[in-house]
Amino acid sequence: MKKLAEKAAEKVRHASNVLVVSHIDADGISSASLASLVLDSIGMPHEVVFTKKLDEVFANGLRARKPEFVWFTDLGSGSTDLLGGLEGIITDHHRPLEPAAKPAIGKKRTLFDYDEKHDDSFLQVNPHMIGRDGGTDISGAGCAYLVARTLDPEMRRFANIAIVGAVGDMQDREGAGLTGTNREILVDGENFGVVEIEHDLNLFGRETRPLYKLLQYASDLNIEGITDNYEGSMDFFMGLGINLKKGENWRTWSDLKKSEKKIAIGALSELVSPELFTGEVYTFPMEKKGTELHEAKEFSTLLNSCGRYDAPELGLKVCKGDRDEALDLALGLRKGHRKNLVDSLKIMESIGITQLEHIQFVHVGDMIRDTIVGTVAGMLFGSGRVDDRKPIFALAVADDGIKISGRGTKTLVDAGLDLSEVMRQATVKLGGAGGGHNIAAGATISPKDVDEFLSLANEIVGRQLS
């Protein structure tokens, strides 16, 4: 990965102007921010554009701009067939359109097999190129960070942004913490004093949610009498002698003393396995405690809010240091995003899940935004209220067709599930576009092809899990 990053950095140095193209989710916004920050640092003129997906229409638009050099972040690897006439680098962690060139029988694949035998219009910094899993080893932001760090070693002071991207893509769920190449980025962050690591309760909302809401709305837990129960959640803490307020303000988990945290974790452990609610937590000491920016999960959700509601540029400004207007506007989107997720979850549950032999699906039509339907499906899938023995596919109406988001579990992936391949194989036959990771992937198809897609997906998943 370092050698690929060095080659990519060298290509950037020889450019005179760069167009950064990135995805709209937290990882994509983090990736673009790191690229923009280092281009600022080395004095390289550049522009940043975002897209929900890299398809033929968008690629044609890029060609019309006639950019000298394009840096794709958190996308591009699965769309190299669309990039003719363009030149630059790709820092991405999604499955490439084609595997690295096959080495001779008995020879181990190396990055040089890829370099020598592939079109060199776009050099890719991608973990799949060296046989690593892009779903867990490193995020798109991490790949961008490796190039940025090579261009300017002082970029280590922005290691926290790469961590936000990885957590935004839920790479910390593997082994209850970040692993692989992400671990090296964590070390950079610790050494530069911009990331702190602790083992603690790792539910969403540690910094900003009142204590009782932390458990009431914990989508990863299902504790009878506490989850989805306002009074039960309050009674849990009050029964432990933990004050819910300090003066007129509701206390959050980050406000608790170590002794209070120990008591609460101990009591929760008697109700549910600690593995479900504890793990590594990544905080950023240079940010104000008790804010969304102080902890990786809440920071990433803030960025997701910007992207999902058509304002990724706000997230870019926040990552690059704007703590005034851009942050205020982003926090407003975050507030609306939280309510939309809760409302959308209720809508999805009311529609109900349809079961096929090997998959399950829900078609929400235009009742839920296509940009958040995957997030909502993931929340429902992880709530314990649906069958987790089959992957779930959520479908929603989008401007360009039907958006499909697939979600699986580590257990299913270990059993052979690869949603990225499901999306690719099914959409190739239907003329759509799809890809992603083994545990989470997406696609866009024509409305007339929905039934055929579901039939193909059911068949492909059946083969994978057999």
| Model confidence pLDDT, tens digit, residues 415-466 | 999 999 999 999 988 887 788 888 899 999 999 999 999 999 999 999 999 9
Which one-letter amino acid corresponds to residue 193?
A: G
How big is the CA angle at 49 (ends 188 and 65), to the nearest 5 degrees? 130
Note whether 185 and 218 are same-domain residues: no
Note whether 71 and 99 are same-domain residues: yes
More confident call, 119 vs 150 = 150
End-of-domain residue from the set 280, 302, 326: 280
Per cent of the chain over pLDDT 90 is 78
pLDDT at 404 (0 to 100): 96
- Cα–Cα distance measured from residue 89 to residue 25, given in angstroms and rounded to the nearest whole number: 20
Find the mean pLDDT for residues 239-260. Answer: 95
- Cα–Cα distance measured from residue 40 to residue 194, given in angstroms and rounded to the nearest whole number: 20
Is 361 contained in some domain? yes
Is 371 contained in some domain? yes
Is 319 contained in some domain? no
* 66 Cβ contact partners less than 8 Å away, ≥ 6 residues apart: none
- Cα–Cα distance measured from residue 54 to residue 92, given in angstroms and rounded to the nearest whole number: 13
pLDDT at 342 (0 to 100): 86
Q: 174 pLDDT band (50/70/90 cuts)?
A: low
End-of-domain residue from the set 246, 261, 280: 280
pLDDT at 49 (0 to 100): 98
Is residue 126's pLDDT more than 90? Answer: yes
Is residue 319's pLDDT more than 80? Answer: yes
Note whether 87 and 211 are same-domain residues: no
Is residue 320's pLDDT more than 70? Answer: yes
Is 83 contained in some domain? yes
Note whether 136 and 229 are same-domain residues: no
- Residue of 420, 434, 427 whose CA lies nearest to 450: 427
Is 323 contained in some domain? no
End-of-domain residue from the set 253, 280, 307: 280
Structure token digits, residue 311: 């304002």
Structure token digits, residue 419: 């949603």
Note whether 152 and 73 are same-domain residues: yes
Note whether 365 and 223 are same-domain residues: no
Find the mean pLDDT for residues 160-172. Answer: 95
Note whether 119 and 227 are same-domain residues: no
Report DSSP letters for 103-149, one per residue: PPTTPPP-HHHHHHHS-TTEEEE-GGGGT--TTTS--HHHHHHHHHH
Note whether 239 and 366 are same-domain residues: no
CATH code (residue 156): 3.90.1640.30
**3-state secondary structure at position 155:** helix
Is residue 16's pLDDT more than 90? Answer: yes
Residue with tokens 């206390």: 251
pLDDT at 98 (0 to 100): 63
* pLDDT tens, residue by residue, 189-247: 999 999 999 999 999 999 999 999 999 988 778 888 998 899 999 999 999 999 999 99
- Residue of 112, 69, 110, 76 whose CA lies nearest to 91: 76
Note whether 89 and 214 are same-domain residues: no
Is 366 contained in some domain? yes
Query: What backbone phi and psi angles, to 5 degrees, belong to 427?
Result: -75, -30
- Residue of 99, 342, 354 whose CA lies nearest to 228: 342
* pLDDT tens, residue by residue, 342-354: 899 999 999 999 9
From first CA to last CA, the distance across the chain in angstroms is 34
pLDDT at 384 (0 to 100): 73
Is residue 314's pLDDT more than 50? Answer: yes
Q: 120 pLDDT band (50/70/90 cuts)?
A: low
Is residue 383's pLDDT more than 70? Answer: yes
Is 292 contained in some domain? no
When the pLDDT of each residue in the chain is averaged and rounded to a whole number, the result is: 91
Is residue 339's pLDDT more than 90? Answer: no
- Cα–Cα distance measured from residue 162 to residue 245, given in angstroms and rounded to the nearest whole number: 34
Per cent of the chain over pLDDT 70 is 95
Structure token digits, residue 86: 């363009």
Note whether 144 and 121 are same-domain residues: yes
Is 329 contained in some domain? no
Find the mean pLDDT for residues 156-167. Answer: 98
Is residue 254's pLDDT more than 80? Answer: yes
Is residue 58's pLDDT more than 80? Answer: yes
pLDDT at 428 (0 to 100): 85
Note whether 98 and 36 are same-domain residues: yes
* pLDDT tens, residue by residue, 60-114: 999 999 999 999 999 999 899 999 999 999 999 998 976 444 444 444 444 434 4
Residue 283, beta-bridge partner list: 196, 295
Q: Which structural domain, as residue segments, surrounds residue 222?
A: 207-280
CATH code (residue 358): 3.10.310.40
Note whether 183 and 224 are same-domain residues: no
* pLDDT tens, residue by residue, 442-453: 999 999 999 999
How many structural domains is the chain composed of?
3
